[in-house]
Amino acid sequence: MIVRIVKMTFQPEKTHDFLASFNKNKEAIRSFDGCERLELLQEKGKANVYFTYSWWRGEEYLEAYRQSDLFKGVWQLTKTFFAAKPEAWSLEKRLEL
């Protein structure tokens, strides 16, 4: 299991645009082959900082998503809203209680 965490800081006036885009695409992302779970989190006290957490069956599924037209289209638009360079981590799940 791969957990992908992406931190995104948006221009405050573009946050609404990001949320509209995310809401439009969230079901397609979640139903992409290999995606087990998708969450959108907002940093407490920071209206323009968001994190996506997505769970993937394996690295090959995440990579297939990252090479897909869906990802390329969503990411191309999302990049126009950033106020800072995004940060991303791919983690291997080791334990769940």
Q: In the chain, how many domains are there?
A: 1
Domain for residue 83, yes or no?
A: yes
Which pLDDT score is estimated for 90?
A: 96
pTM, to two decimals: 0.93
Domain for residue 57, yes or no?
A: yes
37-46, 58-67, 77-86, 88-97, range with the lowest pLDDT? 88-97
Domain for residue 97, yes or no?
A: no
pLDDT band, residue 22 (cuts 50/70/90):
very high
State the sign of the Cα–Cα–Cα–Cα dihedral 72, 78, 83, 89.
negative
Average pLDDT over residues 19-42: 98
Domain for residue 71, yes or no?
A: yes
Domain for residue 41, yes or no?
A: yes
Domain for residue 72, yes or no?
A: yes
Task: Determine what percent of the chain is predicted with pLDDT higher than 90.
Answer: 95
What's the domain range around 57?
Answer: 2-92
Domain for residue 36, yes or no?
A: yes
Domain for residue 15, yes or no?
A: yes
Give the span between the Cα atoms of 52 and 41, in whole angstroms.
6
CATH of the domain at 72: 3.30.70.100
* Structure tokens that stand for 75 in this block: 């990411």
